[in-house]
Amino acid sequence: MGAPAIPGVMKRGRPRSEQVERAILRAAGDLLTEHGLAAMTIEDVAARAGVAKTSIYRRWSTKGTLALDAFLADFLGSQPLPDTGNLENDLTAALRAWVRTVRGTPTGRALAELIAQAQSDPDLAVAWRERVVGPARAQHRKILEHAVARGEIPDTSDVEVLMDLLFGTAYHRLLQGHLPLTDRFVRRVVAVIVAGAKAGAAAPPTP
Amino acid sequence: MGAPAIPGVMKRGRPRSEQVERAILRAAGDLLTEHGLAAMTIEDVAARAGVAKTSIYRRWSTKGTLALDAFLADFLGSQPLPDTGNLENDLTAALRAWVRTVRGTPTGRALAELIAQAQSDPDLAVAWRERVVGPARAQHRKILEHAVARGEIPDTSDVEVLMDLLFGTAYHRLLQGHLPLTDRFVRRVVAVIVAGAKAGAAAPPTP
DNA sequence: TAGCTTACGCTACGTAGCGTAGTGTAATAT
DNA sequence: ATATTACACTACGCTACGTAGCGTAAGCTA
């Protein structure tokens, strides 16, 4: 209590209230869930949190980065790292967990709207890649590296492409909305990728 | 000239000016190219087109649908239907053409921003699926059906999933921006999908 | 030709949300 | 005690939205 995280750079003046921070994130999360990102305004968040607008702007520069923090509070940890000793099972479990989290849920809509917002908000785009895309891919990379270690797929496989195939396909249906994210979809996507990877198609051709 | 498209439902009063329509679409297309969709305003479009705002609202209900029409004027017909007699070559040609159109181009940014806008504009979302996603998929479906007809892949293959794999993966890199759309990426994505499809992984399992 | 109807450009308006500034008070370190 | 920063509150100027009213223009119908 009151002890500085880093002695010597102790801040002077009144410290920022953690309670204010929590109230803002909670209000933003609620509004994100109830009405979506596009309909969420900073003024609404402030009113709902019982906080002044300036207390929000002091912490976040754009609506997108605020929404990202509110989103991560709910989203982090919902994506497991399966390790069954079988690539197809692991990928199926990972994609199924993702589908369960996003299909027809406020989380799914928030996910889509955050990606949308990032197309015109460079700050959010950077934060999104660093705090969502990066960590998620690190998880999925492990699944593929385990498969390489087991000899299921060639060690020259382009794991980045394989990850793009798996989740790019799923994000496609989420964002375009042309077809539903069914379990059959999950199984077939995984089956094609695993078959292709095992055939060495994700590796450089050996002439 | 002056003849009604459907006799009997001849409109009364002053007809809408095609010149106004063209001026609006041209101005919207220019602004979309120069500044992007997020920065484009109806007022700017009106000013640039030398037209009243009401003349725009009379024709389009939202910025998104206007931008879609402006976008299609430039985008339509840029995606060829390759038919070389070989699935891998056809898919590679199709994806390469798409990459060439979108990578580092205003068209690519407009594409991303339209998908973004569709996440919070239901009218645009419907129009997008009907006028962009639908026609594009119809093209790509032919490529896969030709491969089925040639016996390259099983006739039970889930062509919808295969299309999602091909373009979903590419859209993923466009929208997330985590990795570039290189030609090696194109070749590996196609190789995995073709290998998987030929192995029957996109078809229902035969017990 | 006269009359009806709709489109058009123009100006003006009310609304919403943005991001900032000013004020007085509260909380902490020196 | 004093300096410094955070906070709530109020107010402000700004931008863009979407609509309304006006007079004029351009077609049809009688």
pLDDT digits (tens, 9 = 90+) for B179-193: 999 999 999 999 999
Among B113, B123, B192, pick the best mutation site for testing chain A contact (most A Cβ within 10 A). B192
A115-142: average pLDDT: 97
What is the structure's pLDDT at A3?
34
How far off is chain A from B160, nearest CA to CA, in Å? 9
* pLDDT score of B114 more than 80: yes
How far is Cα A89 from Cα A83, in angstroms, rounded to an integer? Answer: 8
A15-40: average pLDDT: 97
Among A35, A176, A184, pick the best mutation site for testing chain B contact (most B Cβ within 10 A). A176
How far is Cα B99 from Cα B182, in angstroms, rounded to an integer? Answer: 8
B169 vs A164: CB contact, 8 Å cut-off?
yes
Average confidence score pLDDT of chain B: 94
Q: Tell me, which fold does domain A74-198 have in CATH? A: Tetracycline Repressor; domain 2 (1.10.357)
A82-104: average pLDDT: 97
* Residue B5 pLDDT level (bands cut at 50, 70, 90): very low
Fill in the amino acid letter for A9. Answer: V
A201 vs B179: CB contact, 8 Å cut-off?
no
- In angstroms and rounded to an integer, the radius of gyration of the C-alpha atoms of chain A is 21
Which positions on chain D have an atom < 7 Å from some protein CB?
3-11, 15-21, 25-29
Distance A51 CA to C22 C1' (A): 18
Is any atom of strand C within 7 angstroms of residue B20's beta carbon? Answer: yes
How far is Cα A23 from Cα A93, in angstroms, rounded to an integer? Answer: 35
Domain boundaries, chain B: 18-73, 77-198
Distance A14 CA to D1 C1' (A): 17
How far is Cα A118 from Cα A126, in angstroms, rounded to an integer? Answer: 8
Nearest Cα neighbor of A191 from A45, A49, A92 is A92
* Residue A78 pLDDT level (bands cut at 50, 70, 90): confident
Is the CB of residue B192 less than 8 Å from the CB of residue A165?
yes
* Residue A9 pLDDT level (bands cut at 50, 70, 90): low
A201 CB near a chain B CB, below 8 Å? yes
Domain B18-73: state its class: mainly alpha
Is domain B77-198 in CATH 3.40.50.300, yes or no? no
User: Which CATH homologous superfamily contains domain A18-70?
Assistant: Homeodomain-like (1.10.10.60)
* Residue B10 pLDDT level (bands cut at 50, 70, 90): low
Average confidence score pLDDT of chain A: 94
| Collapsed DSSP state (helix, strand, coil) of residue A43 | helix
pLDDT tens per residue, range B29-38 = 999 999 999 9
Residue A69's H or E segment, with its range, is helix A63-75
A9-33: average pLDDT: 93
Is any atom of strand D within 7 angstroms of residue B58's beta carbon? Answer: no
